[in-house]
Amino acid sequence: MSVNKVMIIGRLGADPEVKTLSSGNSLTTFSLATSENWKDKEGQKQEKTEWHRIVVWGKLAEICGKYLAKGREAFIEGKLQTRSWEDQQGQKRYTTEVVASNVQFIGGQSSQSNYQPNFEPNNQAQKDPFSDFSPEPDFNNTGDEIPF
């Protein structure tokens, strides 16, 4: 038996990027920061921030693109997925990301709507969302960046 499930709460580091693929499927990506605080042996406050790359597909992607913004807090539930690609120099690159199946918007910002969807896709379309994903040639990739 195996389980691939991720649940995180954090803040967006930038506004989400929304794309519509040639298949018509929507794709939204964003980075989410989670922080851990503690005191070291000398009693000094320490903080460690982890950045998580989030990928959202379909109707949920459209909703995230519309209502999420930099600094907004969100609860993300999904699975880990690692992908690979070749960069412009021909080197193989890897990225691990959270493919979201559930997104809940937490709190709000004065410029944001009070709309707080708890969206879980129905089980009718359980195919792998990456199965029809074919990277398009121009990702504006500048070296080490992820090609989205």
Residue 45 has a CB neighbour count (10 Å cut-off) of 8
Q: Which residue matches tokens 């990277």?
A: 135
- Average pLDDT, integer, range 119-145: 43
Task: Give the chain's domains with CATH numbers.
Answer: 6-38+45-119 (2.40.50.140)
pLDDT computed for residue 107 by the predictor: 77
The percent of residues in the chain predicted with pLDDT above 90, rounded, is: 72
What contacts 77, CB < 8 A, 6 or more positions away?
5, 6, 7, 100, 101, 102, 103
Tokens representing 121 are 């896709």
Any idea what DSSP says for residue 94? E
Per-residue pLDDT tens for 30-82?
999 999 999 999 999 999 999 999 999 999 999 999 999 999 999 999 999 99
